[in-house]
Amino acid sequence: MDDIKHVLDQGPFFHGTKAELRLGDLLEPERQSNYQDKKSNHIYFTATLEAAKWGAELAAGKSKERIYLVEPLGNFENDPNLTDKKFPGNPTRSYRSKLPLKIIAELGKWERHTEEQIQHMLSSLKKLREEGKAVIYD
């Protein structure tokens, strides 16, 4: 395990997805992205339930939406796709790592966004893709 020299956030940390995982499983980079048709160089996570909910709701697939509590197994950085590009600073407390995240628990119950909110977000993302602006810097 890499030494964490500068702790950006104490957590707890969440990862929203539609993947069915078990306690102790590792989320690793170099896997198919939940949001683009490519492998991702990083694994993404957040310290806010709100961002984790969006991650679960917008993830690819038809499976059940899940939010896992995760433990970074090494250094991580602010997610440059959100930090200072879309939001000043890092209000979503969104991060990424090239090292695995360990599943330590599954959040059993959480309140989804409304269908109207989700459809609005999906429409906004579709528009960005059509405009060539839905770029994830990975």
Structural domains of the chain ordered from first start: 13-130 (3.20.170.40)
- Cβ(49)–Cβ(96) under 8 Å? no
Give the other-Cβ count within 10 Å of 16's Cβ.
25
pTM over 0.75: yes
Dihedral class, residue 11 (left if φ above 0, else alpha if ψ from -120 to 50, else beta): left
- Listed in sequence order, the DSSP H helices in 31-102 are 49-58
pLDDT of residue 46: 95
- pLDDT tens digit string along 8-58? 788 899 999 999 999 999 998 866 555 556 567 889 999 999 999 999 998
SS3 50: helix
SS3 55: helix
